[in-house]
Amino acid sequence: MEKFLSQTLGPEWMFKPEAGVILKDWWRMGNRYELEEFFQVNNIGTIDGADLLARWSDKISSQPATLDLRKVVPTSK
């Protein structure tokens, strides 16, 4: 869905009123369709796990390094 919105409205889709209209229309459909059927009915394209993996890979790789508290907080012995 994010890919569809980005391709349709551009990379700043989340700031455009048109995105709100599209999302509200989708929301109004409720649970009428199974996910694959929903994508088909709305001409969103196909569900591709590679898109999801790519999105999370980008998010994970852009996260700052985590702090290892075991090195900061002394443990009681």
**Residues 40-65 pLDDT 10s:** 999 998 888 888 888 888 778 866 65
In a domain, 10, yes or no: yes
* Residues contacting 47, CB < 8 A, separation 6+: 35, 36, 39
Q: What pLDDT does 28 receive?
A: 94
This prediction's pTM: 0.63
pLDDT for the residue 49: 85
Whether 77 is covered by a domain: the verdict is no
Instruction: Domain of residue 17: give its range.
Output: 2-72
Tens digit of each residue's pLDDT (9 = 90 or more) over 18-37: 999 999 999 999 899 999 99
Count of structural domains within the chain:
1
Assigned domain for 16 exists: yes
DSSP H or E stretch at residue 58: helix 49-61
Nearest to 21 by CA among 3, 39, 42: 42
Rounded-to-integer distance, Cα 24 and Cα 5, Å: 13
